[in-house]
Structure 1
């Protein structure tokens, strides 16, 4: 069960980082959001989901 959760977390973190990179945020904001997701895994993902930069496709 733990391995499945670890794999799920890894997939979600990669998805979040890809969305951060594709967002319209400044380069500094992208780096800070990515660090937040990586350093604080669960809390970072939740905060990013609620308040993070939106992708340029969603903003248009």
Structure 2
């Protein structure tokens, strides 16, 4: 069960990092957001989802 939970957290964090890199935030903002997600994986991704910049909403295809 722990392995599955770890994989889910990893996938969510990768999703958050990809969205951070593609966001309209400044370079410094992107670095701070990415560090937050890397240091606090579950909380950082959740905060990014609810409070991250919403400037560019196009999908990655």
User: What range describes the TM-score normalised by the shorter chain of this pair?
Assistant: 0.7 to 0.9
2:44 alignment partner, SS class: helix
Match of 2:37 in 1: 37
The structure richer in helix per residue is 1
Q: 1:44 to 1:37 in 2, by over 3 A?
A: same
Point out the more displaced range, 42-51 or 15-24.
42-51
TM-score of the pair, normalised by structure 2: 0.86
* Cα separation, 1, equivalents of 2:5 and 2:52: 23
Let me know the Cα RMSD of the aligned residues. 1.4
Q: Which runs of 5+ in 1 are unaligned?
A: none
Compute the TM-score of the two structures, normalised by the length of structure 1: 0.87
